[in-house]
Structure 1
């Protein structure tokens, strides 16, 4: 079912990729309302991301890393649709709903300092739109092709505007050689309307594919954006984090090094930006990809 409200971010409605100037703020709050300084907020507004050198303690990193191993090997989750496997090898690629599967991850997601940070950027109370573990085991971790999360969440989940942020928490060192996150700084100010239409149940394909398909810009657009904005890699030790705007153009290479890269992704959406019907798909995606419990998160401490 397609949403009937006015759509200011039309996508997947034509044969060509086009560009739309972002029509909504990047930073909705103010410097006095949270842990980020005015300079931090200006950098976030300009580049679309904010790096945190130490977001998790050593104990939290160890606990979360133990959790990912436990979840990946739980017999009752082997055929669970929330567990996404690499095509071919069958190794775990992603696990969704980790804040519901793990009390440890749930507590991290509701840490007061993280909530204060995202509330400051979004200027409101927040809820968890999505949570996931992304695995990139040594020698076999697959890439994630260039995309804007908001384009997908808008088209397939019904998120009205880009008033959401993700936090990527490193559970292993993120090197420049083992598939760390790449972002085009400043790209969040430009919405890319992708070509084509959304196939039914497209998530079953898009979550495992390594190729550019529906929801990804064409090579000409990506080349123009890379020339305009450049590309920065989000590297750092275990425990570091990157907070980034939902409309950042980002992706990551595969991992053929011996060094695994595992990250927890927590997606916070404003309670003033709750999901409607999909804007460019016939049906909603499963709840584990786009939560419809909009209850504001409360701190765990």
Structure 2
């Protein structure tokens, strides 16, 4: 494994004894320098809001193929016993499978598909590598959501990501309705970093993958962001995609409807933003959650 780089000056302090004041982000949301398939108006909206939607990224036939692949992965008993598979505490149902682009050749091809890869390169203005990949499952009736959070806060504190020069793509494999636990986002919130209180326990990832308690913003901070930016929700048919900034405040509610929700989730980090030692954790999270071996090695 490649050794981690030296930790740089920390502009985004977090996981302190008490929550610090919010910090204005200094890095851009959209970086110049790389052409791509995203049209100028969509790029401008992404720059403003911290996210953009991409309808019909996958065809119905492709959606069917990937849904079959997810079914195959869930039914694999060896994979279920693997640490990369996360199950719900209360129902024992599969919640997520991590490092899925290394488990599934089909999803590995999707990660390198120009429809996916070139959008990430265009937003980040550089070559990229996969910081994290996973498939997510939110079954009907019992699917549990995730509380409001910024991914970058965790990736900075626990993975050593220096700056929020990373972007996530969530590709819907089921219809996303307003009522089945779809992702909620605060447009424009990516410009504000919200520090969180509480020391990161050792091996915190084991608990946080099912229910995060450390690295969660205060009610006061969430209220202030919601008052300033409002809340939008990602909805759309299967095959649609959401591309969103690493520091965008987002969360999802429980799914109490009969309609399940599943997606493929890929985090692209700029090769110019390779991870270093964690900024607020005793040790880095495992490679299958936060890639370090490929830091600085672009996808081809």
Q: TM-score, normalised by structure 1?
A: 0.95
Deviations 1:66-121 (A, max 9, x none): 11111111011122111001112110011101101111111111001222211111
Q: Confirm or deny: 8 A CA contact 1:17 1:218 kept in the other structure.
A: no
SS at match of 1:61: helix
Aligned with 2:186 (options 176, 184, 187): 184
Q: Confirm or deny: 8 A CA contact 1:2 1:279 kept in the other structure.
A: no
- Name the residue aligned to 1:122: 124
SS at match of 1:193: coil
Deviations 1:201-226 (A, max 9, x none): 111111111xx621110111111111
Deviations 1:1-23 (A, max 9, x none): 99642111111123125200001
Q: Confirm or deny: 8 A CA contact 1:2 1:281 kept in the other structure.
A: no
- Name the residue aligned to 1:26: 29
CA distance in 2, matches of 1:117, 1:11: 30
* Number of positions where the alignment pairs a residue of Structure 1 with one of Structure 2: 295
CA distance in 2, matches of 1:16, 1:154: 16
CA distance in 1, matches of 2:58, 2:132: 20
Q: Confirm or deny: 8 A CA contact 1:3 1:278 kept in the other structure.
A: no
- Name the residue aligned to 1:54: 56
- Name the residue aligned to 2:103: 101
CA distance in 2, matches of 1:248, 1:259: 26
1:36 aligns to 2:38 (yes or no): yes
CA distance in 1, matches of 2:172, 2:119: 18
Q: Confirm or deny: 8 A CA contact 1:182 1:234 kept in the other structure.
A: yes
CA distance in 1, matches of 2:54, 2:41: 14
Q: Confirm or deny: 8 A CA contact 1:188 1:249 kept in the other structure.
A: yes
Aligned with 2:15 (options 6, 12, 20): 12
SS at match of 2:274: coil
- Name the residue aligned to 1:290: 290
Of stretches 60-69 and 185-194 in structure 1, the one that deviates more from structure 2 is 60-69
CA distance in 1, matches of 2:197, 2:6: 19
Question: Would you identify which runs of 4 or more consecutive aligned residues in structure 1 move more than 6 Å?
Answer: none
1:91 aligns to 2:97 (yes or no): no
Shift in Å at residue 228 of structure 1?
1.0
Q: Could you say if the C-alpha distance between residues 196 and 72 of structure 1 is closer, same or farther in structure 2, counting changes exceeding 3 Å?
A: same
Q: Confirm or deny: 8 A CA contact 2:5 2:276 kept in the other structure.
A: no
CA distance in 1, matches of 2:245, 2:38: 15
SS at match of 1:119: helix
Alpha-carbon RMSD: 1.5
Shift in Å at residue 238 of structure 1?
0.4
Q: Could you say if the C-alpha distance between residues 103 and 4 of structure 1 is closer, same or farther in structure 2, counting changes exceeding 3 Å?
A: closer
Q: TM-score, normalised by structure 2?
A: 0.95
- Name the residue aligned to 2:265: 265
